């Protein structure tokens, strides 16, 4: 019974995401209301708020889950693993998760990227999420290497790496690159950055 409830919840969440993105593409983000999204997904507005705190969260629907997985990875380095190695493993895992999402992620990415680049409230939210995620990763990295890193050095390393890889991905997608090309760009950016962070090891 619990499994059926969870499946229904996942279907409802997915329906809200799909409905929102369809409406954003047709009507525009700012012109789309929460009531319209709920109606398109065949749920009540009250139900909407059971799944998402705001309209903005629909655009960033996968951010929290991805970040939880990434922080868990960074906070538990393998025996003998260096700082640079765990950061490279983080990028490899993140890009692998993106690849596993495959066509579904790519179907939404052009629209999501366009919205984030053009809607001021989404730009602000993207920056907030980026800032919060980097602080979380820095804390996890420092905790994973307590004898090697303090919070300041961990924050510097994470900021350099995340900034380089995210900008590389955005640039690749903005140029019409495929998911595979964006992943390659992220990994190349990570390798370049880690090469400059070797003093942390």
pLDDT digits (tens, 9 = 90+) for 116-166: 889 999 999 999 999 999 999 999 999 999 998 999 999 999 999 998 998
Backbone angles phi, psi at 108, to 5 degrees: -95, -25
Q: Which of 94-98, 101-105, 130-134, 167-171 has the lowest mean pLDDT?
A: 101-105
List every span in the chain annotated with CATH 1.10.357.10.
60-200
SS3 content of the chain, % helix, strand, coil (to 5): 80, 0, 20
Question: Cα–Cα distance between 50 and 25 in angstroms, integer?
Answer: 24
The pLDDT tens digits for 53-76 are 999 999 998 888 888 999 999 999
pTM of the model: 0.80
- Compute how many other C-beta atoms are within 10 angstroms of the C-beta atom of residue 172: 21
What DSSP element (H or E) covers 167? Answer: helix 151-174
CA atoms lying within 13 Å on the CB side of residue 70:
26
List every span in the chain annotated with CATH 1.10.10.60.
1-55
Q: Which fold has domain 1-55?
A: Arc Repressor Mutant, subunit A (1.10.10)
CATH of domain 60-200: 1.10.357.10
């Amino acid at each position: 019974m619990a499994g059926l409830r969870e499946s229904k919840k996942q279907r409802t969440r997915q329906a809200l995401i799909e409905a929102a993105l369809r409406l954003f593409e047709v009507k525009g983000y700012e012109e789309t209301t929460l009531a319209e999204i709920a109606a398109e997904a065949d749920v009540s507005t009250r139900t909407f708020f059971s799944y998402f705190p705001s309209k903005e969260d629909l655009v960033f629907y996968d951010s929290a889950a991805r970040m939880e997985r990434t922080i868990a990875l960074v906070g538990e380095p393998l025996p003998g693993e260096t700082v640079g190695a765990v950061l490279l493993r983080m990028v490899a895992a993140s890009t692998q998760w993106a690849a596993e999402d495959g066509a579904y992620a790519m179907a939404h990415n052009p629209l999501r990227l366009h919205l984030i680049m053009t809607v001021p409230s989404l730009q602000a939210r993207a920056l907030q999420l980026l800032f919060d995620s980097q602080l979380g990763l820095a804390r996890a990295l420092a905790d994973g290497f307590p004898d090697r890193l303090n919070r300041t050095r961990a924050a510097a390393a994470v900021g350099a790496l995340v900034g380089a890889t995210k900008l590389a991905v955005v640039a690749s997608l903005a140029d019409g690159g495929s998911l595979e090309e964006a992943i390659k760009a992220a990994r190349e950016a990570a390798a370049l950055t880690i090469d400059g962070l070797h003093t942390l090891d």
